[in-house]
Amino acid sequence: MRRGGWRALIVGVALSHVSCHQEEGPYPSKELKLIVQASPGGISDTVSRFMAALIEKDLGVPVVCENKPGASGALAFSYVARRAPDGYTLGHAPVEIAVVRALGYADVGPDNMGLICLVSKIPAVLVVREDAPWNSFEEFLSAARREPGRLIMAHSGTGSIWHFNSLLMEQAADVRVTYLPYGGSSQSLASLLGGHVDAAIAGTGEAIANVQAGRLKVLAVFDKARSRLYPEAPTSYELGYEFGAPAWSGFFTPVGVPEEILDRLESAFHKGFESAEWTKLCEERGMEAVYMGRDEFREFALEQAEFFSEEIPRLLTLER
Amino acid sequence: MTADLLTGLLAILQWKVLGFLAVGVLLGAVFGALPGLTATMGVAILTPLTFWVSAEQGLAMLLGIYCGAIPAGGIPAILINVPGTPASIATAWDGYPLAQKGHAGLALGINALLSAVGQLTSIFFLAVAAFPIASFALRFGPAEYFGLALFGISLMAGVSGERVGKGMLAGMLGLALATVGLDPMTAYPRYTFGHSEFLDGIAFVPVMIGLFGLAEVLVQISERWGKVEPAPGKLGRIWPDAAQWKRMFVPMLTGAGIGTFVGAVPAAGGDIGSVIAWEQTRRTSRRKAEFGKGSLEGLAASCAACNGAIGGAMTTMLTLGIPGDAPSAVLIGALLIHGIQPGPLLFRDHRSFIFSIVFLMAFAAILVMLVGLLGAKPLARALRIPNPWLWAGIVLFGTVGSYALNNAVVDVWAMFFAGIAGFLLRKADVPLGPLVLGLILGPMMESNLRRALILSRGDWLGTLFSSPIVVFFLAATLLSLLLPLLKKRRTT
């Protein structure tokens, strides 16, 4: 009877190793792993699982998503960066790849990743309740200027991309607001709808339901070009404030993956990006379908990393 | 109205839709019953698969998973003291003792039946009172959340049984552990010792698996190792008799009601709801001493409440586009993929679709109940597995489940560490319920108190008396702490 327990354990452990050995052939000859830096269900997870399903068709092998959340993604980024550069481990690359080093979470960034491509972006949007006294970004700013620190603005968490967007707003418009950090945009928007705060900053898609229902109004989109979701809302750049740091989604491998494998991956992702399904997903989830190939994405991500490593220490001291 | 209702019903009365619903329910039951695999994970992983089927079919499968997973989470809670999902923590408190007394069949039967009651009640609320519930949920600002969390924390005393002092110590330990990770306001790392693995705090599910599952195995090994096992008794009945129904009636309604409302409040789900319902039932019960030792009332309240939270969470999600708990957050994404935008407009423009959801959930609830009732006998037989095999199985599933949660080895270590700590605490007769409460409610209490103080600009009194809801929770907290003392004085 005593041995029974051990036997059960050994069988279990043995079973979990069965599927590990397969023959190698021309790439890709076995399943790919795509590491997602966030929990199941969020926008990163959706983007990754969708892209995985789309590139699967082209590559002809399964692409399995695995979630490794934690530390703004730093855990997943370092994990992928340490894998063998054989093209069988990929990672989702959100804007945080350009941020985590500046936050001090891990020594990983676009410079030690093999970037494949960028597939979407999500700008920040400043929303207030429908009954709020401000009808434009300018009116909101002048209220904030009149009584510095009086207006309370909810965001999705200290160190999150939406928090940085609001800090950039403070800096560009020379105003002061008081922040109320939440654990995600759904909570910060609920707190705005419930009348507990004056304004909230979130991703364009996150606020759309209540904007369309007339419960929230958009004061500005923090981006260069107008958002397809809010064609009427002015952008920060249009209004003369040159700031805006949209979130984005891309994919990466460890450094040192052979060129021909990267080419193969990039073309698979590009096909996925051009599919009708992807366009539809972007529309439904409030993302802008934007594509950048390998070289363009590398340049862009390095630029972003430099921007955040300069701005973040300054912005965080700005917030006392 | 009736036209919408009929259209909504007809849209789902198709073999394919109902087939997907059944597949979802069964998958959900698997996800729920395996500790470490949660309802949230099940819904998230299967969401992309539904992209290529119609909205009704996809939604049927995902709602089936959600509605199937929560009741199934009670099965391991009852059989092996490991809650399958965090929502069924309170189910283990009375379900497991009941099973150990030889009533595993009955406990599983009650879980199946009252889960369905909880779900159907909350679905009924969703159908008739979605907007009042949602606007109530929106009134929860930081101060209200703090009040709710404080009230939850005050339940520690009740959850401790007769060992109030030790229970408080365990509760404080839970609160202390809850401070690990990034500071919720400033994002400054606390007690991480430089390891980025701890930035998000100590993962709750592995700790739960360790504290309840592994610790239970260790306790049993220390007590029963090498001893002859008693011959397994009869499985007993599954269906409660009339007297038992009568005893469970009020707890069941209390549970379903509390579950619905707590579920509707964003960021508070079935775990908190069922603990509150359990404790409220205990407090008003004439058989207080039975609670935690296999009370039917306690089991009824917790099963109904953790399932009531489903309808509550769906209410907030559908009316406001804001999820009431983690699985419904994933469901929002799934709805969007099918071109359905949850939010106030959904009720104006797609009324029949709302009824489709209501019916799908109701069918799922009934289907889950049938699966649970049919499965009760075979599952209860699991307890006849010779102990060493059962122990090894629990350790195996616990390890795999802890890893599967975040695909992180550190969580497996957390599970083993929590298991050994839980074993030592159990041996010292320290109740573990308060520790879990501290872990769940600590972050909610801390972050919302600090948010409330930001809003009131540091004014404590202004924060604490800012709304009737806060005052209600503070009064309830005070009452729950003082009443036992007053009663004691009167009796001595």
d(CA A292, CA B357): 39
**Domains of chain A: residue spans and CATH:** 31-121+247-313 (3.40.190.150), 124-245 (3.40.190.10)
Count up the domains in chain B and report the number.
1
Give the one of A197, A208, A284 whose C-beta lies nearest to B337's C-beta: A284
Check pLDDT > 50 for residue A20.
no
Inter-chain touch A213–B344, beta carbons under 8 Å: yes
Contact status of A102 with chain B (Cβ, < 8 Å): no
d(CA B155, CA B305): 16
Contact status of A67 with chain B (Cβ, < 8 Å): yes
- Please name the residue of chain B whose CA is at the shortest distance from the CA of residue A12: B396
Contact status of A279 with chain B (Cβ, < 8 Å): no
Interval B335-385: pLDDT, tens: 877 777 787 778 777 888 888 999 999 999 999 999 999 988 888 887 778
Give the one of B41, B345, B454 whose C-beta lies nearest to A40's C-beta: B41
Query: How distant is the Cα of B43 from the closest Cα of chain A, in angstroms?
Result: 8
Give domain status of residue B262, yes or no: yes
Give the one of A41, A43, A178 whose C-beta lies nearest to B40's C-beta: A41
* Averaged pLDDT for residues B18-26: 93
Check pLDDT > 60 for residue B105.
yes
Which token pair is B446?
Answer: 């801390």
Inter-chain touch B139–A50, beta carbons under 8 Å: no
Give domain status of residue B231, yes or no: no
Name every chain B residue with its beta carbon within 8 A of the beta carbon of A50: 48, 51
Interval B79-101: pLDDT, tens: 888 888 888 889 999 999 998 88
d(CA B140, CA B267): 10
- The range of the structural domain enclosing residue B28 comes to 2-225+239-491
pLDDT given at position A283: 84
pLDDT given at position A2: 44
Name every chain A residue with its beta carbon within 8 A of the beta carbon of B394: none
Give domain status of residue B435, yes or no: yes
Question: Which of A15-24, A139-148, B158-167, B456-465 holds the top average pLDDT?
Answer: A139-148
- Please name the residue of chain A whose CA is at the shortest distance from the CA of residue B226: A2
d(CA B270, CA B278): 12
Contact status of A262 with chain B (Cβ, < 8 Å): no
Question: Which of A69-73, B46-50, B176-180, B192-196 holds the top average pLDDT?
Answer: B176-180
Give the one of A157, A195, A284 whose C-beta lies nearest to B339's C-beta: A284
Check pLDDT > 70 for residue B225.
yes
Inter-chain touch B386–A41, beta carbons under 8 Å: no
Cβ atoms of B398 and A14 closer than 8 Å: no
Give the one of A4, A186, A284 whose C-beta lies nearest to B336's C-beta: A284
pLDDT given at position A124: 94
Interval B473-483: pLDDT, tens: 899 888 878 87
**Residues 195..214 of B with a Cβ closer than 8 Å to A: which?**
196-197, 199-200
Q: How many CB pairs under 8 A join A and B?
A: 167
User: Considering the entire predicted model, what is its pTM?
Assistant: 0.83
* B364 closest CA partner among B68, B124, B8, B6: B68
Contact status of A177 with chain B (Cβ, < 8 Å): no
ipTM of model: 0.82
Give domain status of residue B386, yes or no: yes
Check pLDDT > 50 for residue A22.
no
Select from A16, A46, A177 the residue whose CB has the most chain B CBs within 10 Å, as the one to mutate to test that interface. A46
Give domain status of residue B230, yes or no: no
Longest dimension (CA), chain A: 78
Give domain status of residue B335, yes or no: yes
Give the one of A45, A66, A158 whose C-beta lies nearest to B187's C-beta: A158
Contact status of A29 with chain B (Cβ, < 8 Å): no
Conformational region of residue B161, where left means phi above 0, alpha means psi within -120 to 50, and beta covers everything else: left
* B222 closest CA partner among B474, B407, B455, B419: B419
Contact status of B31 with chain A (Cβ, < 8 Å): no
Contact status of A170 with chain B (Cβ, < 8 Å): no
Question: Within its chain, how far is the Cα of B123 from the centroid?
Answer: 17
Give domain status of residue B43, yes or no: yes
Contact status of B186 with chain A (Cβ, < 8 Å): yes
**Residues 190..209 of A with a Cβ closer than 8 Å to B: which?**
190-191, 193-197, 205, 208-209
Residue matched to tokens 């629990």: B394
Cβ atoms of A105 and A273 closer than 8 Å: no
Residues with Cβ within 8 Å of residue A2, at least 6 apart in sequence: B226, B388
DSSP conformation letters of chain A: -HHHHHHHHHHHHHHTTGGG-----SSS-S-EEEEESS-TTSHHHHHHHHHHHHHHHHH-S-EEEEE---GGGHHHHHHHHHS-SSSSEEEEEEGGGGTHHHHTS-S--GGGSEEEEEEEEE-EEEEEETT-S--SHHHHHHHHHHSTTTSEEEES-TTSHHHHHHHHHHHHHT---EEEE-SSHHHHHHHHHTTSSSEEEEEHHHHHHHHHTTSEEEEEEESSSPPSS-TTSPBTTTTT------EEEEEEE-TT--HHHHHHHHHHHHHHHHSHHHHHHHHHHT-EEEEE-HHHHHHHHHHHHHHHHHHHHHHHHHT-
Which token pair is B353?
Answer: 């679709």
Name every chain A residue with its beta carbon within 8 A of the beta carbon of B40: 39-41
Amino acid at A302: L
pLDDT given at position B309: 92
d(CA A212, CA A217): 9
Give domain status of residue B479, yes or no: yes
Average pLDDT, chain B: 86
Cβ atoms of A249 and A281 closer than 8 Å: no
- Please name the residue of chain A whose CA is at the shortest distance from the CA of residue B327: A41
d(CA B71, CA B372): 8
Check pLDDT > 60 for residue B55.
yes
Interval B283-315: pLDDT, tens: 888 888 888 888 999 999 999 999 999 998 898
